[in-house]
Chain A
Amino acid sequence: MFGYYLDLAVRSLKRNKMLTALMIVTLALGIGASITTLAVLRLLSGDPLPQKSSRLFYPQLDPRPLDGYMAGQTKPDPMMTYQDAMYLLHARRATRQAAMAVLQSKIIPSQPNEHPYFADGMMTTADFFAMFDAPFQYGSGWSADDDDSRSAVVVISDFLNDKLFGGSNSVGKMLNIDDRQFRIIGVLKHWAPQPRFYAVALRGHDYGDGEALFMPLQTARSLDKGPGDVECFQDVTDLIHLETAPCEWLSVWVELNDSAAVTSYKSFLDGYVKEQISLGRFHRPETSLLNLMGWLSDQEVVPSDAQLQTYLAFGFLLICIVNTVALLLAKCLRRGREIGVRRALGATRGAIFTQFMVEAGIVGLTGGVLGLALAELGLMGVRHQPAEYASLARLDLQMFLVTFAVALVASLIAGLLPAWRACVIAPAPQLKAA
């Protein structure tokens, strides 16, 4: 039976080529635009570390003076002072914990005729790699001992290794960073969570390739390497000795395995703050322990522009669907006589309904295929834009399936009204009119 409907549908679509083409193109344009923007939004708002994100938490304290504080309303600062970060690190109350700050490093190539260049990096502590599931291609990360002894070791990314050593195993080789020799102890496999959730204040570098190198925090500080961003809450006369300055510049992440661990860590944080208040060092009792996705939405990493754009695209898809409904309806209203004949020959209302839905479905699928091609074209356009996330705009398998689902659902919705109108047509008057 389905084959017969299919045949009828194709015949009917062929009968009015112009109208069929208009319906398909309309639907395809709507799908193309909405899927393009949806793919960009998904890229921007996706989970950067799906296998681990529910176990990663971002503790926050508030060392600022009481002035301007409103209980329950003032959010704690996004970063932490050195003193507090080190306390949380050494307390070891979580499964894993690491402190980190962004770092800009000058890399001096060994070839004499090549100029030095800057690379984005992280200064962090030993647990970083295990906590964030950063996979190693060669070698490994450093140990807590390396942190304490300020070892001149470095972990580099796959792309830096490709650039400097042609992708070969460079563990044990020396690298000149900021006019100092570092021993490479590990090379990562490709690792670039989108967005780079672990660092605050990326100055718009939330997406992209990620860090080129990782260095022990204490080692970097012993070279006087400053972090990318410093937030001071009291007057400072000295920005060189950041360990003692009243400034926040570190991010701390902790790994907590279950909700009991989260509860106990939160009360540990509250207890620490209470103690600091009684010592007169802190004034605000607020603490916070957001999980990874909560932290991302708190920081509003996803540009609101991308959301607006997606609304717009779906508004546009709605217009396309309404348009398709109107065209399908116009088509079916003209076919009263055909329907009358089929009903008179014994076709049930269900059969007529199915026939029209099959017709709508064909329009939908064809529109979907064309829409997919348009979405690919749209994403190619996005990739040619200078925006920093642009190069990552791609359709994955899931989006591919979503596209077809959207196309089919959109066209079936569009087909519903005409099909219903068609099947309630009474056969007699139509036949009489003929």
Chain B
Amino acid sequence: MEIRPIFASLRKHRIPTLLIVLQIALACAVLCNAVFMISKRVSDIRLPNAIDEQEISVVDIQGTDPLQAASETSRNLAALRGIGGVEAVSVVHTMPLSQHNWGWSFGLSMDSVLSDEHNTNVTLYFVNQDFEKVLGTRLLQGRYFNSSEYADSTIGGGALPHTHVVVITDTLARQLWPDQPALGKTLYSKPNYYTVVGVVADVLRPDVYTSNRDKSYDDVFLPLSPDEVLHAYILRSAPMDRDRVIREAVAKLQQLSPQAVVEGVTYTSMREKYFANMRSMVWILVLVCVVMLAVTAFGIVGLTSFWVGQRRRQIGIRRAIGATRGDILNYFRTENFLLSSAGVLLGMLLAFGINLYLMRHYELDRMPWYYLPGGALALWVIGQLAVIGPAMRAASVPPVVATQSN
């Protein structure tokens, strides 16, 4: 295909040519960045969490008499165990992605105090017996707590339980003691200290850090005997039983404590609620991208149609002197390919620039290189699809037009 005549014709219409190139460039730049933002959010929404999310339901009971909490806990646990389909029951004080965080910070030397800036901030998960069976946490090293450790551990209105054993997550272990086994090591917050007896696969915190993912997995599990801070009853059942299990569990606990506020949810809906805002954002971004591509296509259709209309006579002459329909079709498609290529080149530069700006001002990551050719490809395809209609109309111009004067 000879492209020189195309260049010559484009040079005659400099401003429309420039405008369409500019439009493709802008679309390419915005598209690359938008898709990058979407993919970042989608991967945030899918942050891995090493518990059996599909099998867990949470029934939260609050507003009971704190003095009765210890005795009511075993009664409640027994009642929940009696529900058909429930495989295991436990009670904890908070869940991953529940937004209820109990934070603390620990150091690695004996004189570490809470206010020490070098300490690592972690989430405390206070757990009761069998938590691992309900949550399905995966032990990587060491062991879980034994029943005497649960029995010895109380909190009594303080901020840390009186125990000396903890289980921590894999990420936290590697962060605190890189290249060393974590088992047997100690965490300090004067005057408290805790020995690591087990390491579990990464469980998310109640709130995640989207800018620094590793921080989203800094958890310390502490054993705790029944106490008023333990108010989230967790139940494990087959996924299809969850709704019924929750209904029966709520009714049972409400009946046992009429003055309490009882609320039950599946863990999957808890996770969905946490990411609801982010998911809305993803949908808005996707919609904007789709509409943007549509508008770009409209522009190409509009301009090419116009060019076709303007060149009817010229096309007729070419047909009369022997150009086939395919030649005419190819002419417009090549023209579009040239315009798209110029736009895409400019667009990739723009996309890169926008990404740099967003990185500086919004803690965005660097866009991986493959977004640029990806965006280019998308716009090439859109361009070729958009040009087909007008190009077909051009190809159907009969040679006889050449003889008509307009």
Residue ranges of A at the interface with B (Cβ–Cβ < 8 Å): 18-19, 22-23, 25-26, 29-30, 33, 37, 64-65, 67-68, 106, 108, 115-118, 178-179, 203-204, 232-240, 303-305, 307-309, 312-313, 315-316, 318-320, 322-323, 325-327, 329-331, 333-334, 382, 385-388, 390, 417, 421
> What DSSP secondary structure best describes chain A's contact surface?
helix
Residues of A within 8 A of B19 (CB): 322, 325-326, 329
Q: Which residues of B contact A26 (CB under 8 A)?
A: 295, 298-299
Chain B residue numbers with a CB within 8 Å of A388 are 277
Partner pick for A232 among B16, B159, B191, CB 8 A cutoff = B159
Task: Say how far A308's CB is from chain B's closest CB, in angstroms.
Answer: 6
Q: Which residues of A contact B296 (CB under 8 A)?
A: 319, 323
Cross-interface CB contact of A387 among B34, B277, B285, cutoff 8 Å? B277
Q: Judging by beta carbons under 8 Å apart, are B259 and A116 in contact?
A: yes
A237 → chain B closest CB, angstroms: 5
Question: Can you spell out 24 A-B residue pairs with CB atoms less than 8 angstroms apart?
Answer: A19-B306, A26-B299, A68-B117, A116-B63, A116-B261, A117-B261, A203-B99, A236-B114, A240-B157, A305-B278, A308-B362, A309-B285, A312-B34, A313-B288, A315-B26, A319-B23, A322-B22, A322-B23, A323-B296, A327-B303, A327-B306, A333-B13, A334-B306, A388-B277
How far, in Å, is B377 (CB) from chain A's closest CB?
Answer: 19
Alpha-carbon gap, A118 to B261, bound state (A):
7
Name the contact of A330 in the complex, choosing from B16, B33, B284 (C-beta under 8 A).
B16
Name, among A18, A312, A323, the residue most crowded by chain B CB atoms within 10 Å (CB to CB).
A323
| CB <8 Å contact, A303 and B302 | no
Contacts of B189 on A, CB cut-off 8 Å? Answer: 235
Is the Cβ of B190 less than 8 Å from the Cβ of A235?
yes
Contact B295 A305 (CB under 8 A): no
Is there an interface contact between A19 and B305, defined as CB atoms closer than 8 Å? yes
CA distance A159 to B189 in the complex (A): 45
- With contacts A30-B295, A67-B115 taken as known, whether A382 is within 8 angstroms of B280 at the C-beta atoms is yes
Query: In the assembled complex, how far is the CB of residue A30 from the closest CB belonging to chain B, in whole angstroms?
Result: 7
Q: Which of B327-381 contact A (CB under 8 A)?
A: 358, 362-363
Q: Is the CB of B113 within 8 A of A235?
A: yes
| A329:B16 contact, CB within 8 angstroms | yes
Which of A22, A64, A312, A331 is within 8 Å of B115, CB to CB?
A64
- Known contacts A308-B358, A327-B302; is-contact A421 B15 (Cβ 8 Å): yes
Q: Contact at B295–A323, with CB atoms within 8 Å?
A: yes
Q: Give the shortest distance, in Å, between A391 (CB) and chain B (any CB).
A: 12
The reply to whether B303 and A319 form a contact with Cβ atoms under 8 Å apart is no
Residues of B within 8 A of A108 (CB): 259
A234 to B19, CA, bound (A): 63
A320 and B281 alpha carbons, distance in the complex (Å) = 22
| Closest chain A residue, CB of each to CB of B155 | A239
- Collect the chain B residues with CB atoms within 8 Å of residue A236's CB: 114, 158-159
Give the docked Cα–Cα distance between A132 and B345 (Å).
55
For window 243-299 of B, CB contacts with A under 8 Å fall at 254, 259-262, 273, 276-281, 283-285, 288, 291-292, 294-296, 298-299
Residue of A nearest to B362 (CB): A304
Number of residues of chain B lying within 8 A (CB) of chain A: 63
The answer on a CB contact under 8 Å between A106 and B62 is yes
Residues of B in contact with A (beta carbons under 8 Å apart): 13, 15-16, 19-20, 22-23, 26-27, 29-30, 33-34, 37, 62-63, 99-100, 113-117, 157-159, 189-191, 254, 259-262, 273, 276-281, 283-285, 288, 291-292, 294-296, 298-299, 301-303, 305-307, 309-310, 358, 362-363
Known: A118-B63, A238-B157. A18 touches B277 (CB 8 A): no
- 6 more CB-based (< 8 A) A-B contacts, given A309-B285, A382-B280: A19-B305, A178-B63, A318-B26, A382-B284, A385-B276, A387-B280
Given contacts A116-B261, A239-B158, contact A233 B15 (CB under 8 A): no
A334 to B305, CA, bound (A): 12
A331's contact among B114, B295, B306, by CB below 8 Å, is which?
B306
Chain A nearest Cβ from B371, distance in angstroms: 15
B40, chain A: closest CB distance, angstroms: 11
Chain A's closest residue to B102 (CB) is A230
Residue of B nearest to A178 (CB): B63
Distance from A307 Cβ to chain B, minimum over Cβ atoms (Å) = 8
Contact A333 B16 (CB under 8 A): yes
Q: In the complex, what distance in Å separates the CA atom of A352 from the CA atom of B302?
A: 24
Closest to A115 in B: B254
Complex Cα–Cα for A23 and B301 (A): 11
A385 touches B114 (CB 8 A): no
Q: Is the CB of B273 within 8 A of A386?
A: yes
How far, in whole Å, are A178 and B288 apart by their CA atoms in the complex?
48
Q: Which residues of A contact B292 (CB under 8 A)?
A: 316, 319
Among B62, B115, B260, which residue has the most Cβ atoms of chain A within 10 A? B115
Asked if residues A234 and B113 are in contact (CB atoms below 8 Å), the reply is yes
Alpha-carbon distance A387/B275, docked complex (angstroms): 9
Q: How far, in Å, is A223 (CB) from chain B's closest CB?
A: 12
Most chain B beta-carbon neighbours within 10 Å: one of A67, A117, A308: A308
Give chain B residues whose Cβ lies under 8 Å from the Cβ of A235.
Answer: 113-114, 189-191
- Provide the bound-state CA to CA distance between A118 and B363, in Å: 37
User: Would you give the shortest CB distance from B308 to chain A, in whole angstroms?
Assistant: 11
In the complex, are the beta carbons of B26 and A319 less than 8 A apart? yes
CB-nearest residue of chain B relative to A224? B66
Distance between Cα atoms of A232 and B121 in the complex (Å): 13
A22/B298 contact (C-beta < 8 A), A116-B259, A238-B157, A308-B358 known: yes
CA A234 to CA B112, docked complex, whole Å: 11
Residues of chain B within 8 A of A238, CB atoms compared:
157-158
List B contacts of A115 (CB < 8 A).
254, 261-262
Contacts of A22 in B (CB 8 A): 298-299, 301-302
A226 to B159 Cα, complex, angstroms: 13
Q: Which of A203, A304, A330, A417 has the most CB of B within 10 A?
A: A330
Q: Which residues of A contact B279 (CB under 8 A)?
A: 386
Least CB separation from B98: chain A residue: A203
Chain A hits for B283, CB < 8 A: 385
Instruction: Return B340 CB to nearest CB of chain A, in Å.
Output: 14
Chain B residues whose CB sits within 8 angstroms of the CB of A240 once the complex forms: 157
A65/B115 contact (C-beta < 8 A), A25-B298, A316-B292 known: yes
Minimum C-beta distance from B302 to chain A (A)? 5
Report B-chain residues with C-beta under 8 Å of the C-beta of A203. 99-100
Instruction: Point out the residues of chain A lying under 8 angstroms from B363, CB to CB.
Output: 304
Between B116, B302, B309, the greatest number of chain A beta carbons within 10 A of the residue's beta carbon is seen for B302
Chain B residues with Cβ under 8 A from A204's Cβ?
A: 99
Across the interface, B303 reaches (CB within 8 A) one of A117, A303, A330, A421, namely A330
B157 partner residues in chain A, CB cutoff 8 A:
238-240
**Interface pair B298/A319, CB less than 8 Å apart:** no
Residues from chain B with Cβ under 8 Å of A312 in the complex? 30, 33-34, 37, 285, 288
| CB atoms of A67 and B117 under 8 A apart | yes
Q: In the complex, what's the smallest C-beta–C-beta distance from B375 to chain A, in angstroms?
A: 14
Residues of B within 8 Å of A334, CB to CB, are: 306, 309-310
Evaluate whether A386 and B276 lie within 8 angstroms (CB atoms) in the complex, with A309-B284, A312-B34, A329-B19 already known: yes
Are A323 and B276 CB-contacts (below 8 A) given A22-B301, A204-B99, A308-B358?
A: no
The 10 closest A-B pairs by CB, nearest first: A68-B117, A385-B280, A326-B19, A106-B63, A386-B276, A323-B299, A330-B306, A240-B157, A315-B30, A387-B277
